[in-house]
Structure 1
Amino acid sequence: MSVVNTVLLILTLFFALIALYQYKLIKDFNKSQELMEKIKEKLYQTSEKVLMTENEDEIYSIVLNTAVDLIPNGTNGSILVMDEDENFHFKVVRGFHEDLHDLVLKKEEVYLNSVNKFKETAIIENPRKFDEVNTNAETINELRKRDALNIYCTISAPIYIDNKLIGLLNVDSSKPECRFTKKELNLMNLIKSELQIALKNAFAQNKLKYLANFDELTGVMNRRRFNKEFSIEMEKIKQEGKEFSLVMIDVDEFKAINDTYGHNFGDKVLKCFSSLIKSYISETDIIARLSGDEFVILFRNCIGDMAKERMDKITDIISSKKINGINISFSHGICEVRDFDNITAEEAIVLADTKMYSCKRSKRI
C-alpha cells in the first residue's frame, strides 16, 4: 500500500471517528432534550395539581412524590418543615413509616446546617454515619426502630419561599450501590426551583381562599362564610325538620377597652374571647365574627333550656378569665329556630340581635 493510500485511509478513519463522535453528541443531546421535556411536563403537571389542592399535607406529598420520581435511583424521601423554634418536623414521607411524623430534629442535627447553613442543595454520601454522629441517642434509636437509617445516599435541598427557609426536601436511595452525582444534584436544583414557585403560588392562593371564609384576626368564620352556612341550616329546617339556636354576641364596653388600652390590646381581647368560646362549643356548632366585637354562635340541634345552659356556662367561663388583669364580659341574645316557626333567616338574626341589645341595656340600669 502506498504512502498516499495509507494517509487517505488514516484521514478517512479520523473523519469517521469525528462523525461518529458528533453523532453520539447529537444523540445524547437529543436524549437529554427529551428527558428535559419530560421533566418540564412532569413539573407542569405537579404545579397544576398543587394549585388545585387545598390541603397542606397533600400539597407537600405531591411535591415529594414528584422529586422522588424524577431523581434517578431515588427510592425514599421526606419533607421536613421548620417551626418557630427552628426545629424540623417530618411533614410527609415516602418509603418510611408514617410515625416518623412524631420525631423532631434540632437545627444542629440537620446535615445542611452543618455543611452550608442551608444555603444550597448538597449530597449526603453516608447519611447514616452523619446521623449517628450528629443526632442525639434517643432520636437515633427512634430512627432505627422505624427503619429510617437504611439509606445509602441522600440529596437534601433547602426550601425557601420569599427568601425565608421553611423546610427541607430530601430524596434518598436505599440501593447500596447508589451514589448521587453532580448530575442528580443539578436536577434536584431544577426540580426544587420549580416546586418552590408552585408551593408559593399554592400557599398564596390558599391564603386568599382562607381569608375569603375566615376572619384573619380570630381564625373563626367571617360574615360571608357564616351567611352561607346559615342559609344551608335554614334549608335543612324546611327539608329535614332540623332545629337550632342562633346566638348574637357583643363584647361589653369594647370601645372603652380600645380607647383605654389601645387597639393592640383590643385585638388580643377579641382573639382570647373567640378562642375561649370556640373551645367550649361542640365541633358541630358554628362561631363566626360578624364585625368588630360582634360574634354569632349557631348551636345545631339545640334549643330552649339547653341553649340557655350552654350560654350560661360560656358566660361563667369568660367572667372567670382575665386578660392582662382585665375582666371581660359580653351580652347575648338567643333566637330558637324550628321547622314550624315559619321564620326567615333575616328575621332570626334581627330577633337574636334585638334580644342581645335588650340584655346590654339591662346591664346599664
Structure 2
Amino acid sequence: MRKKLYETSDRISKTNDENEIYSIVLDTIIELIPNATHGSVLLVNEEDNFYFKVVKGFQKELKSLSLKREETYLYRINRFEETAIINNPEEFDRMHANKDTIERLERINALDISCTISAPIYIDNKLIGLINVDSNKTNYIFTQKDLDLMDQIKCELELAIKNALAQNKLKYLANYDELTGVMNRRTLKKEYDNEIAKMKYNRKSLSLIMIDVDNFKCFNDTYGHFLGDMVLKHFSGVLSNSVEASDIVARFAGDEFIILLKGFDLTQAENKMKSIEEKFLKERLEGIALKFSYGICEIGPDDNMSFDKALTLADAKMYEYKKREIYNRQMQGM
C-alpha cells in the first residue's frame, strides 16, 4: 500500500487539472479498500452546498446534482468531524434528502448501494469536501478495519492534495488576476504576441481596446475598498460575458482593462463597445449602471505592431474619448 500511495502522490504532483487530482485520489481509494465498487468526491461551493466533482461507477448525470449540508451523510452523523460508515445509504437518503433529490437519484440508479464510507476532506483545518466510497455488493457492510484504512489513505492524500492545490494556485496567479479572474498583463502580452504571429497567415485584423471605469476613485474614497473590489469584479464579469470565448479580457492595472477582439476591424470593435455600454445599463451593480471610457487600436495583418505601441495608441484614443465626454457634459450643462 505504501508504494501505491507514493505513486499516487507523485501523479497528483504532476498534474495541473483539479478534476484529475480528485479522480486519481478516488481511483486509489476504491482500489485499496476491499469490496469498494463505487465512489464520489464532493466539494463545497460558494453557496455552501456540496457538488459532485468526480464520480466512479455512477452515471455522469450525478455530477449535475448538488446537496445541502443537511442532506449529506456526515452532517447528520457527526457534523463532518470524522469518517463514518453508513450501513443503509438508501434508507438514509430517503429520510433526509428532499423529494426532488430522491427522484433524480432514482432515475440514475444512484440509490442502489448497500454500504458507504464517508470521509471529510480538510485542508488547513477547513472543510473543502467529502470522499464517499460505496459497495453495491448485496448485504455487504464495511468494517472498522475498512474505516481505519480509509482514514490512513485519506491522511496521506490530503497532504498531496494540499500541495497540488497550492502549486496550481501559484501557477494560476502567474497568469490570472486573483481578484477578477481575468488574465493579467503578463499573460495578455503573450496572447497578443501569439495573435500577431497568426495574423501573417489568417490575414485578419485584431482590435486592442483599453478601458477604464469612470469615477472609480470616487467608489473607493466614498464607499471603501470593499465596494471598489465589487465594482472591479462586476465590471470584469460583464466584459467577459460580452465577448466570445476566443476573445480575451485582461486586467491591465488598477481599474484599467484590455479587450482583444480577434478578427475585428475598427468599425466592428466600435459596434461591440456600443453593445457593451448597453449591457452595463441593464446589468447594474447595486442599482448603479457603471460607465467607462475606452480607446481602440486596430492592428492590420501587415502592421506587425508591438504590444507596447498598440497600448500607447489605445491609451491616446481613450484620453481623446475622455476629453470628448467632458466637453459634451459641459455643453449639456450650459
Give the TM-score, by structure 2 length: 0.91
Matched, 1:301 2:254: no
Which of residues 180, 189, 192 in structure 2 aligns to 1:230? Answer: 192
Alignment of 1:198-277 (within 5 A): 198-277=160-239
* Residues 309-318 or 153-162, more deviating: 309-318
Instruction: Report the CA distance between 1:315 and its aligned residue.
Output: 2.3
Q: Partners of 2:93 and 2:229 in 1: how far apart? A: 45
User: Does the C-alpha gap of structure 1 residues 315 and 84 become closer, same or farther in structure 2, counting only changes over 3 Å?
Assistant: closer
Q: Secondary structure at the match of 1:288?
A: strand
Counterpart amino acid of 1:336? E
Q: Partners of 1:120 and 1:320 in 2: how far apart? A: 47
* Residues 259-268 or 59-68, more deviating: 259-268
Instruction: Report the CA distance between 1:141 and its aligned residue.
Output: 2.8
Q: Partners of 1:268 and 1:136 in 2: how far apart? A: 34
Q: Partners of 1:290 and 1:325 in 2: how far apart? A: 26
User: Does the C-alpha gap of structure 1 residues 252 and 140 become closer, same or farther in structure 2, counting only changes over 3 Å?
Assistant: closer
User: Does the C-alpha gap of structure 1 residues 268 and 105 become closer, same or farther in structure 2, counting only changes over 3 Å?
Assistant: closer
Matched, 1:43 2:25: no
Structure 2, unaligned runs of 5 or more: 328-334
Alignment-derived partner of residue 293 in structure 2: 331
* Cα shift readout 1:339-362 (whole Å, capped 9, x = no counterpart): 222433322221111111121122
Q: Partners of 2:280 and 2:94 in 1: how far apart? A: 50
* Cα shift readout 1:184-241 (whole Å, capped 9, x = no counterpart): 1111001110111111111111111111111111111110110111111111123442
* Cα shift readout 1:220-265 (whole Å, capped 9, x = no counterpart): 1110110111111111123442321111112223223322332222
Alignment-derived partner of residue 128 in structure 2: 166
Alignment-derived partner of residue 36 in structure 1: none
Counterpart amino acid of 1:360? K
Give the TM-score, by structure 1 length: 0.84
Q: Partners of 2:63 and 2:256 in 1: how far apart? A: 39
Matched, 1:358 2:320: yes
User: Does the C-alpha gap of structure 1 residues 141 and 265 become closer, same or farther in structure 2, counting only changes over 3 Å?
Assistant: closer
* Residues 79-88 or 95-104, more deviating: 79-88
Q: Partners of 1:237 and 1:357 in 2: how far apart? A: 28
Alignment-derived partner of residue 92 in structure 1: 54
Q: Secondary structure at the match of 2:42?
A: strand
Q: Secondary structure at the match of 1:167?
A: strand
Alignment-derived partner of residue 24 in structure 2: 62
Counterpart amino acid of 2:88? N
User: Does the C-alpha gap of structure 1 residues 86 and 342 become closer, same or farther in structure 2, counting only changes over 3 Å?
Assistant: closer
Do 2:189 and 2:307's aligned partners in 1 also have CA atoms closer than 8 Å?
Answer: no
User: Does the C-alpha gap of structure 1 residues 314 and 144 become closer, same or farther in structure 2, counting only changes over 3 Å?
Assistant: closer
Bigger-Rg structure (1/2) = 1
Structure 1, unaligned runs of 5 or more: 1-38
User: Does the C-alpha gap of structure 1 residues 346 and 189 become closer, same or farther in structure 2, counting only changes over 3 Å?
Assistant: same
Which of residues 33, 37, 42 in structure 2 aligns to 1:71? Answer: 33
Runs of 4+ in 1 over 6 A off after TM superposition: none
Matched, 1:146 2:108: yes
Q: Secondary structure at the match of 1:284?
A: coil
**How many percent identity over aligned positions?**
53
